[in-house]
């Protein structure tokens, strides 16, 4: 039997881009909902191109390769092999999930303040938008090494919560929180433009935050409670 987190991850993966083949579903790189240069000057077109076409594509390729090996290991009842593939499945599957969300929660028409139920939820949990922004900024900047800062929804409490994940660990399988808004703080997400000044990048990314999409994700999360 595979670990519980593997099944949780599997439930999330069909929500990101796949294409059917005769033998299995192949994950594919989702198209960006805007041009590569659309988020400039917050994130340059060069960074977006490399981030999407190189880094995200690599996660997709490696995830497909890992799932093929996993399918064969399951067919062969090779428990040792199944166990050995879990780190690669988590890393590359998480990278695919995280980035598929990341592109959607950014927008060239973003920034400003959330509205509607999202703003109500933010005020209920944090007291104000500025306080949520401050806490999410501090958490994201404070990630040691590579990882993500997240605004998530707790299905048990019905409230929002800020969390961080190391490397490409996906938020839901790792913490039980539904991801609403994520900040990628791997250096490949900002170094060409912001060098080693992560705080400037994190501060700027709120100017392209797609709060409408974040609000939609919150509404969907509540429907699935």
Which tens digits make up the pLDDT trace of 165-179? 999 999 999 999 999
Strands 178-184 and 25-27: unpaired
pLDDT at residue 20 greater than cutoff 90:
no
Q: With bands split at pLDDT 50, 70 and 90, how would you rate the model's confidence at 27?
A: very high
Q: With bands split at pLDDT 50, 70 and 90, how would you rate the model's confidence at 23?
A: low
72-113 pLDDT per residue, tens: 999 999 999 999 999 999 999 999 999 999 999 999 999 999
Mean pLDDT computed over every residue of the chain: 92
DSSP string, 1-29: ---HHHHHHHHHGGGS-EEE-SSSEEE-P
Q: Tell me how far apart the alpha carbons of residues 98 and 104 are, in angstroms, rounded to a whole number.
A: 10
Lowest mean pLDDT among 1-10, 41-50, 195-204: 1-10
pLDDT at residue 6 greater than cutoff 80:
no
Q: What's the whole-number mean pLDDT along residues 23-46?
A: 94
In 3-state terms the chain splits into helix, strand, coil percentages (rounded to 5) of 55, 15, 30
Q: What's the whole-number mean pLDDT along residues 140-151?
A: 98
The answer to whether residues 164 and 135 touch, using CB atoms and an 8 Å cutoff, is no
Q: Please give the residue that has the higher pLDDT: either 9 or 156.
A: 156
**So what's the pLDDT on residue 3?**
43
**So what's the pLDDT on residue 201?**
98
Instruction: Compute the Cα dihedral for 222, 134, 12, 86 and give only its sign.
Output: negative
Q: What's the whole-number mean pLDDT along residues 176-183?
A: 98
Q: Tell me how far apart the alpha carbons of residues 161 and 188 are, in angstroms, rounded to a whole number.
A: 26
**So what's the pLDDT on residue 225?**
79
Three-class SS state of 1: coil
Crossing angle for the helix pair 4-12 and 86-104, to the nearest 10 degrees: 30
Q: What's the whole-number mean pLDDT along residues 120-126?
A: 98
Per cent of the chain over pLDDT 70 is 89
pLDDT at residue 7 greater than cutoff 50:
no
Number of continuous H segments (helices) and E segments (strands) in the chain: 11, 5
Strand-pair partners of 178: 153
pTM of the complete model: 0.89
Query: What Cα–Cα distance (Å) separates residue 138 from each residue in 68, 153, 215?
Result: 39, 19, 22
């Amino acid at each position: 039997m595979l670990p519980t987190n593997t099944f949780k991850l599997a439930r999330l993966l069909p929500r990101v881009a796949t294409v059917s083949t005769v033998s299995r579903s192949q994950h594919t790189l989702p198209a960006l909902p805007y041009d590569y240069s659309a988020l400039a000057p917050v994130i340059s077109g060069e960074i977006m191109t490399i981030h999407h076409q190189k880094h995200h594509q690599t996660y997709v390729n490696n995830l497909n390769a890992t799932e093929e090996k996993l399918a064969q290991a399951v067919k062969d009842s090779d428990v040792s092999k199944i166990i050995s593939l879990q780190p690669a499945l988590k890393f590359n599957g998480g990278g695919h999930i995280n980035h598929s969300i990341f592109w959607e929660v950014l927008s060239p028409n973003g920034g400003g303040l959330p509205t509607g139920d999202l703003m109500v939820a933010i005020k209920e949990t944090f007291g104000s938008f500025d306080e949520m922004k401050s806490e999410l900024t501090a958490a994201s900047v404070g990630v040691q090494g590579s990882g993500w800062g997240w605004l998530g929804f707790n299905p048990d409490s019905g409230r929002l919560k800020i969390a961080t994940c190391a490397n490409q660990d996906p938020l839901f399988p790792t913490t039980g929180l539904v991801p609403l808004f994520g900040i990628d703080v791997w250096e490949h997400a900002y170094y060409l433009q912001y060098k080693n000044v992560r705080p400037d990048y994190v501060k700027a990314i709120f100017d392209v935050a797609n709060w409408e999409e974040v609000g939609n994700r919150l509404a969907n999360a509540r429907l699935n409670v």
